[in-house]
Structure 1
Amino acid sequence: MTALISIHDVMPETLDHVGRLIRRLKDNGHCAITLLVVPGRNWSADDIRRLTEWSDDGIELAAHGWHHRAAAIRGIWHRLHAVFLSRDAAEHLALDADAIEALMRDSAAWFIRQGLPTPTTYVPPAWALGPLPRDRWSSLPFRRIEVTRGIIDIASGRLYSLPLVGFEADTRYRAAFLRRWNRFQVWQARRRNRPLRVGIHPHDGELKLADDLAAFIKHGWKSRRMDDGAWQESA
């Protein structure tokens, strides 16, 4: 089975945790990793150097919002999303289409200014793309966007529906829900012979599903980067 492994919320304040996760993954044979980088934080020259080293080592750098924090809660859907899923992380849901497009362009441009590889993958915080019409996708500076249901190929407009597992559980309720969710998603990946998306957050190894994450890392999944189009053949 194929796993698209991504580490979310890569920021200056999480780099040490991210580095430990990368070492754990690689020690268990998962070398194809995508890092979801949040550009609008307080990045130092040393922080950029670490991103450069990871990129040079074969890790994909993807764009992940701008601040990774919604400036306000906008509308009933955003409020429900915040309560049950994202808290204040769904940055796009507080914006209109023009602001979302501008944010995504700024996010891509930041990598170029830092001398980092131009990202071809964009993942909105909390996988929530927000009210961005489909007719605007083709003008965006990315080749693919990951959303809750799967990965959108911008050139074709196709959504590759892919199962998703996660381990960010800081309450007993979230842990119970995610454990059941993950079992179902893994079953779906096996039954449909689809790649499994694996979203890891920097502090997951310290939270209530740390043992589940450790067991997954030791599993014999074949990892792929999101910008490796080979996974699409089985999706």
Structure 2
Amino acid sequence: MKRLFASIHDVSPRFEREVDQLLAHLHPHVGKRLAMLVVPDHWGAAPLTPAFKARLRDWSDRGIEMFVHGWYHRDTAAHAGAAAFKARHMTAGEGEFLGLDYAEALARMQHGKALVEDTIGRGAAGFIAPAWLYSDDARRALGDAGFALAEDHARVWQPRGRIVARGPVITWASRSRARQLSSLAAAAVLRRALQPARHVRIAVHPGDTRVPALMTSIDRTFAAFRDHAPAAYADLLA
């Protein structure tokens, strides 16, 4: 069976209106068969409020999977070498786990897991680092944090087990005109290239809602994979 995994990133009180827009926009394509990536305190300025926690629990009760998505979603580390290139070109200061050592990565993972699970009343689906970027220590910490699944740009895996899905995530960038155009071109290519793929992942972000061309591309991308059944990440563990 061909499967489609949809996710909304950066779920936070800071982006509540945009999350609602994305939910409505994706509903014709996947219904509630999607994942939300929850940021416990976006940039240290948007902690989960009681009202937003109630919404997360309701969404979870309706079948939406909840992933822990870092803690702050902000990268404050100094980088060198390959990590510096990733920090500069693959994200706008949001690769929170790219520069963390083992102890700090594990602490943030554990605190995020406890908060999200206490909020929704069930286990978190897994952990996905902001911008899909991990230090080597952060990848090692995943194995001790107790998450069932983790994801990066190229794969989904069990932190203490096997790789359960491979292939690039289809996603969009909204922060500059150049990045918008490049992500539109990449999505158009991947819509064709990934047709034979058994597993396809599509990720959307709050910023996408502010760019009509991106929203149109998102619709076209979901439509291109009608023969892929909307699935839960947990299905990869079956």
TM above 0.5, yes or no, is yes
Aligned to 2:205: 201
| 1:128 and 2:133 are equivalent in the alignment | yes
Q: Is the 8 A contact 1:55 1:61 kept in 2?
A: yes
- Cα distance in 1, alignment partners of residues 47 and 94 from structure 2: 18
Q: Are the equivalent residues in 1 in contact too, given 2:5–2:200 (CA < 8 A)?
A: yes
- The answer on 1:48 being equivalent to 2:49 is no
1:36 paired residue number: 37
SS at match of 1:4: strand
Q: Which amino acid aligns with 2:92?
A: R
The aligned residue for residue 94 of structure 2 is 89
Equivalent position SS for 1:132: helix
Q: Which 10-residue stretch deviates more, 212-221 or 63-72?
A: 212-221
| C-alpha separation in 2, matches of 1:63 and 1:31 | 18
Aligned to 2:161: 156
The equivalent residue for 2:24 is: 23
1:163-221 residue CA offsets vs partner (Å, 9 max, x unmatched):
31112233232123212322333333223x22111110012122252221232344524
Indicate the larger mover: 48-57 or 24-33: 24-33
Asked if 1:100 corresponds to 2:101, the answer is no
Q: Which amino acid aligns with 1:106?
A: H
What do the CA deviations read for 1:120-151 (whole angstroms, capped 9, x no partner)? Answer: 31100000121227665432210110012111
How far apart are residue 95 of structure 1 and its match?
Answer: 1.1
Q: Give me the whole-angstrom Cα distance separating, in 2, the residues matched to 1:133 and 1:23.
A: 34
Quote the RMSD (CA, aligned, Å).
Answer: 2.2
Residues 137, 63 of structure 1: CA spacing in aligned structure 2 closer, same or farther, 3 A cutoff?
closer
Query: 2:118 and 2:214 mapped to 1: Cα distance?
Result: 37
1:79: Cα distance to partner? 2.6
Please, which of 185, 204, 224 is the counterpart of residue 231 of structure 2? 224
Gaps of 5+ in 1: none
Length-normalised TM-score, structure 2:
0.86
Contact 2:97–2:138 (CA under 8 A) maintained in structure 1 = no
Cross-structure match for 2:181: 176
Structure 2 spans left out of the alignment, 5+ residues: none
Amino acid across the alignment from 1:140: A
- SS of alignment partner, residue 201 of structure 2: strand
Hey, what does 2:13 align to over in structure 1? 12
Question: Which stretch has the larger CA shift, 126-135 or 56-65?
Answer: 126-135
Shift of 1:76: 3.1
Aligned length: 230
- Distance in 2 between residues matched to 1:100 and 1:132, nearest whole Å: 7
Q: Distance in 2 between matches of 1:66 and 1:100?
A: 10
Per-residue deviation, 1:159: 5.8
Q: What's the TM-score once normalised by structure 1's chain length?
A: 0.87
Give the fraction of aligned pairs with identical amino acids, expressed as a percent.
22
CA–CA separation in structure 2 for the residues paired with 1:132 and 1:159? 21
CA distance in 2, matches of 1:174, 1:135: 31
* Distance in 1 between residues matched to 2:69 and 2:139, nearest whole Å: 19
Judge conservation of contact 2:39–2:68 (CA < 8 Å) in 1.
Answer: yes
Judge conservation of contact 1:146–1:152 (CA < 8 Å) in 2.
Answer: yes
Residue 9 of structure 1 deviates from its aligned partner by 0.3
Deviates more, 1:69-78 or 1:40-49: 69-78
Q: C-alpha offsets along residues 28-71 of structure 1, whole Å, 9 cap, x if unaligned? A: 34431100001134221111111111111111111000000012
